[in-house]
Amino acid sequence: MSINIAIDGPAGAGKSTIAKAAAKALGYIYVDTGALYRSVAYYVMLRGKDVNNRSAVEILLQDIVPELKYIDGEQHVFVNGEDVTGKIRTPEVSMATSVVSAIPRVRDFLFNLQQKIAVENNVIMDGRDIGTVVLPNADLKIFLTASPEARAERRYKELSQKGNAPAYEQVLSDIIKRDREDSTRKIAPLKQAEDAVLLDTTDMTLEEATETIIGMIAKVRK
């Protein structure tokens, strides 16, 4: 039986950095489910459709083949054979993803793919509904959070390093808007599972948070 670790939480809480580092240290596969939702939004935009047009998005799902591949230990996301790993990280794709991820058929479409990966591998899977919907029987569920300001600061630094950062205030207001959309939507809202451990990383470095999580996982493996 594979070991499944679920990490959920809002944008910018450090989920992907922490989950990736912990997975590397433990030899697990890291699955960034947000990248799958992003790849759907990217494809809708590529085809020139409006993400707010629900039926247009639903029709396009028939044409989308998302895949996760691991190249030198790094997750790459492919859509219909194209490696879109870098292209799905723009602020425009982030906002569009928040819209498409609220569509029930989009969630159903990605559900089986996520479950299949978890059945076949030891995984650390991060997202918004992993502990509540995708892996309700996960061996360990962690809800990772931090204040909106701390998250905006981290995201701002990350975007600055890539050379395309909007103003800090814009990053903060995007985070607050996405939090609201992700946690108030009717389907699979961002919510802490009842049996999840809460970890607030506002006053922690990402290294400290990673060590804490590796320690928690080590306990469930015993």
Residues binding ligand DC (CB under 6 A): 11, 33-34, 37-38, 97-98, 101, 127-130, 178, 182
Residue 1: Cβ within 10 Å count: 6
Q: 66 or 127: whose CB is closer to ligand DC?
A: 127
Whether the CB-CB separation of 209 and 18 falls below 8 Å is answered with: yes
Q: 74 or 221: whose CB is closer to ligand DC?
A: 74
Identify the burial level of 86 via C-beta atoms within 10 angstroms of its C-beta, where 0-12 means exposed, 13-18 middle and 19 or more buried.
exposed
Q: 15 or 28: whose CB is closer to ligand DC?
A: 15
C-beta of 133: minimal distance to ligand DC in Å? 8
Phi and psi dihedrals of 21, rounded to 5? Answer: -65, -40
Helix (H) or strand (E) holding 127: strand 123-127
C-beta of 115: minimal distance to ligand DC in Å? 12
Q: Are strands 82-83 and 74-79 parallel, antiparallel or unpaired?
A: antiparallel
Q: Which residues contact 62 (CB under 8 A, 6 or more apart)?
A: none
Q: 27 or 173: whose CB is closer to ligand DC?
A: 173
**Closest to 104 in 3D by CA, of 168, 54, 39:** 54
Q: 20 or 38: whose CB is closer to ligand DC?
A: 38
C-beta of 166: minimal distance to ligand DC in Å? 16
C-beta of 96: minimal distance to ligand DC in Å? 9
**Closest to 66 in 3D by CA, of 49, 80, 45:** 80
- CA distance readout (Å), 98 to 35, 131, 151, 212: 12, 19, 17, 29
Q: 164 or 215: whose CB is closer to ligand DC?
A: 164
C-beta of 128: minimal distance to ligand DC in Å? 4
C-beta of 139: minimal distance to ligand DC in Å? 18
